[in-house]
Structure 1
């Protein structure tokens, strides 16, 4: 974990599928990063326990994509430790029809052709169209996902396919909450986040124009600015 004193000194960042701190270092360089791909955990509750064991007694938490679901498991387990919640580019819905088949198809590509082939199939649709052909920008993002490795994809895929129900949890969230996503996020679209914000008492909603699912890397300045401003306003 990286730690330094700043406005967001107590913000813990939980990455999504195949991601680590490299997704966020430009946007939130002074946050606390829960790295290590959750220690290879293959369930969301175990990812939450892994994170809680590495975080201070009191913190704000940002969960991106799968990390948003981990953050909500932390709320379920230890709400008294969370001062503020930020859910970015995530979802709260149960497993969808054909979701398992699609995830296992990617796993088969990884097993047969290697992790790079899996990432080449999975990553581009996560990004806003005008970024996909920017090779200088895309290469580090791809490298991060390739470095995660096939075992991490399989463990995290397993976690997502056995994800706990969240409908009853959302109305109980008592801390200040910000919900945000990219305008062009096809995986976690704005309408999905409008519904999440509506289900959490007092939650704020922010949609970032021109960004896709990999919002923290696509629009790091805007992403960081929105979060720092919101945290300052919530005290």
Structure 2
């Protein structure tokens, strides 16, 4: 019998480490964690995912920016996606007016910090909003900094540009016809639960799972809870 294929898409400045526990839990499937390199658009990243997918049809999960890439994969090739999981992510494009300019300015300030002080020092500032407050300066926080340090300012710049130019994914959500899991850390300050509740309301066949005692980095903060949700999703 053919093994199922699962593509697990990491978020901004993340790599396969963000999905380590989930790959172990999904060992009954062929798990693939793509790398985006210096691709600078969400659409380019989605095309890359489709090119490297080892199976014609696959299950697809995305965390944070990876969720936006996953939605673009669905837009480009809905017939290839058997089921979809979106974790700690969003659907809206860059806001217009001052809100959008503020986001752009904050991201560019972080990029400048990375160029001047290095990726790890940038991460010390940036990642403090990524985890539950109780995990600041913990061993887990150090693992996140290690992951950020494995990236480069050039990759950071490319992924920032991809996010600043992110497409509006609301219509993709409304048109979803595959089994869809939405999961979010209860204390996610970046991609709040309220946003996932809105997304859940837009996708009638979706299920919403709240990951308790977790910030934005739910796959690493609460690996067992997230893995359990994904294993159940694979058997819907």
TM-score calculated relative to the size of structure 2: 0.91
C-alpha contact (below 8 Å) 1:19/1:145 kept by paired residues: yes
Matches within 5 A, 1:67-78: 67-78=66-77
Which residue number corresponds to residue 181 of structure 1?
A: 184
Aligned counterpart, 2:234: 231
Q: CA RMSD in A?
A: 1.4
Question: Secondary structure in 1 aligned to 2:83?
Answer: strand
1:13 corresponding residue in structure 2: 8
Distance 1:169 1:185 in 2: 23
Q: Which runs of 5+ in 1 are unaligned?
A: none
**How big is each residue's C-alpha offset from its partner over 1:51-74, in whole Å with a ceiling of 9 and x where there is no partner?**
111111110100000000000000
1:135-176 alpha-carbon deviations (Å, 9 max, x no partner): x22222211111012111110000000111112221111101
Give the structure 2 partner of residue 28 of structure 1: 23
For residues 73 and 129 of structure 2, what CA distance do their matches in structure 1 show?
29
Partner of 2:153: 150
| Residues 156-171 of structure 1: pairs in structure 2 closer than 5 A | 156-171=159-174
Residues 39 and 50, structure 1, Cα contact 8 Å, conserved in 2: no
Kindly state the Cα deviation for residue 10 of structure 1 after the two structures are TM-superposed: 1.7
- In 2, the alpha carbon distance for the partners of 1:196 and 1:155 equals 27
Contact kept in structure 2, 1:174 and 1:201, CA below 8 Å = no
Q: Assess if the C-alpha contact under 8 Å between 1:34 and 1:51 holds in 2.
A: no
Aligned length: 225
Structure 1 CA distance, aligned partners of 2:144 and 2:91?
25
**Contact in 2 for aligned 1:15/1:64 (Cα 8 Å):** yes
Superposition deviation, residue 101 in structure 1:
0.8
